[in-house]
Amino acid sequence: MGLDVVKYYRYLFKIPSLTMILVEHAILSLIFSLYTGGLTLESILNGILVFTLTPLLSDLITRVICRSEPLLNFRRLSGLTLFSNATVVLVSLIFTPLKYLEVPMDRILLMGFPLSIALRFMVFRALAFKKASLPFSIVQPLSCILMLTYVYGLTLHMNILTALLVALLATHIYLSLVDGEAKPMTGFSGLMLFRAFLANWMENLDGPIEDILEELGVESEHSIEVLAFKASNRTTAVIVPYIHPGPFKNVGSSSLPWSIQTFAEKELKCEAVAVPHGVSTHVHNLTSKKYIPKILAALSSIKFEFNVLEASKPIRVYYRGAQAICQSFGKVAFLALTLAPKSMEDIPMKIKTILEDYGRSLGFESVIVVDAHNSFSWDMYSMSDETLQALIEAGKTALHMVSKAESNRFKIGFSRKHMHGYDVKDGIGPSGIVLHLFMMENSLYAYVTIDGNNMVSGIREKIIQNLKEMGVSDAEVFTTDTHMVNAVVLDRGYHPVGEAIDEKSIIQAILDTFKEAYSRLEWASTYYGEITVRDLKVLGDGLSKLTKSLEVSAKKAKRLAFSIIIPLLITSIFIVIL
The 10s digit of each residue's pLDDT in 303-326 is 999 999 999 999 999 999 999 999
pLDDT at site 170: 94
pLDDT at site 3: 45
- Higher pLDDT, residue 194 or 534: 534
CB-side neighbour CA atoms (13 Å) of 402 = 32
Contacts of 157 (CB under 8 A, 6+ apart): 107
Mean pLDDT of 6-17: 70
Burial of 158 per CB tally in 10 Å (0-12, 13-18, 19+): exposed
Three-state SS string across 84-108, please?
HHHHHHHHHHHCHHHHHHCCCHHHH
Say if residue 5's pLDDT is above 80. no
Euclidean distance between CA atoms 51 and 166, whole angstroms: 24
Categorize the per-residue pLDDT at 12 as very low, low, confident or very high, splitting at 50, 70 and 90. low
pLDDT at site 381: 66
Say if residue 129's pLDDT is above 90. yes
Say if residue 4's pLDDT is above 60. no
Contact (Cβ atoms closer than 8 angstroms) between residue 206 and residue 289: yes
The alpha carbon of residue 208 and the mean position of all alpha carbons in its chain are separated, in whole angstroms, by 16
- Higher pLDDT, residue 233 or 514: 514
Q: Give 150-173 pLDDT, tens digit per residue.
A: 999 988 889 999 999 999 999 999
Angstrom CA distances, 98 to 84, 94, 145, 187, 566, stand at 22, 9, 20, 49, 21
Categorize the per-residue pLDDT at 139 as very low, low, confident or very high, splitting at 50, 70 and 90. very high
Angstrom CA distances, 576 to 91, 103, 122, 147, 553, stand at 12, 10, 21, 18, 32
Say if residue 2's pLDDT is above 70. no
pLDDT at site 156: 86
pLDDT at site 205: 94
Burial readout 92-103 (b: 16 or more C-beta within 10 A, e: otherwise):
beebeebeeeeb
The overall average pLDDT reported for the chain is: 93
Q: Give 502-518 pLDDT, tens digit per residue.
A: 999 999 999 999 999 99
Contact (Cβ atoms closer than 8 angstroms) between residue 381 and residue 387: no
Euclidean distance between CA atoms 246 and 356, whole angstroms: 25
CB-side neighbour CA atoms (13 Å) of 368 = 30
Categorize the per-residue pLDDT at 8 as very low, low, confident or very high, splitting at 50, 70 and 90. low
pTM for this prediction: 0.91
Euclidean distance between CA atoms 422 and 235, whole angstroms: 28
Angstrom CA distances, 40 to 23, 28, 32, 194, 277, stand at 20, 16, 12, 46, 66
What is the percentage of the chain residues whose pLDDT exceeds 90?
84
Contact (Cβ atoms closer than 8 angstroms) between residue 287 and residue 542: yes
pLDDT at site 10: 60
Mean pLDDT of 421-442: 96
Q: Give 253-270 pLDDT, tens digit per residue.
A: 999 999 999 999 999 999
Say if residue 28's pLDDT is above 60. yes
Helix axes 139-152, 113-127, angle to 10 degrees: 160
Contact (Cβ atoms closer than 8 angstroms) between residue 344 and residue 383: yes
| 239: helix, strand or coil | strand
Categorize the per-residue pLDDT at 136 as very low, low, confident or very high, splitting at 50, 70 and 90. very high
User: What is the C-alpha radius of gyration for the chain, rounded to an integer number of angstroms?
Assistant: 30
pLDDT at site 444: 98
Say if residue 472's pLDDT is above 90. yes
Question: Is cis: bond before 341, omega within 30 of 0?
Answer: yes
| 219: helix, strand or coil | strand
Nearest alpha-carbon partner for 414 in 264, 526, 524, 521: 521
What is the percentage of the chain residues whose pLDDT exceeds 70?
97
Say if residue 491's pLDDT is above 80. no
Angstrom CA distances, 182 to 125, 127, 192, 196, 378, stand at 16, 17, 10, 14, 28
- Which amino acid makes up residue 103? V
Categorize the per-residue pLDDT at 7 as very low, low, confident or very high, splitting at 50, 70 and 90. low
Q: What pairs with residue 218 in β-bridges?
A: 538
| 345: helix, strand or coil | coil
CA angle 354, 359, 365 (to 5 degrees): 120
Euclidean distance between CA atoms 272 and 435, whole angstroms: 8
Categorize the per-residue pLDDT at 379 as very low, low, confident or very high, splitting at 50, 70 and 90. confident
Give 71-77 contacts, CB < 8 A, sequence gap 24+: 71/127, 71/128, 71/129, 71/195, 71/198, 71/199, 71/202, 71/203, 72/124, 72/127, 72/128, 72/133, 74/18, 75/15, 75/17, 75/18, 75/21, 76/15, 76/127, 76/202, 77/140
pLDDT at site 1: 40
Least confident of 104-108, 357-361, 536-540: 104-108
pLDDT at site 305: 94
Contact (Cβ atoms closer than 8 angstroms) between residue 280 and residue 346: yes
pLDDT at site 291: 97
Contact (Cβ atoms closer than 8 angstroms) between residue 44 and residue 33: yes
Counting every residue, how long is the chain? 578
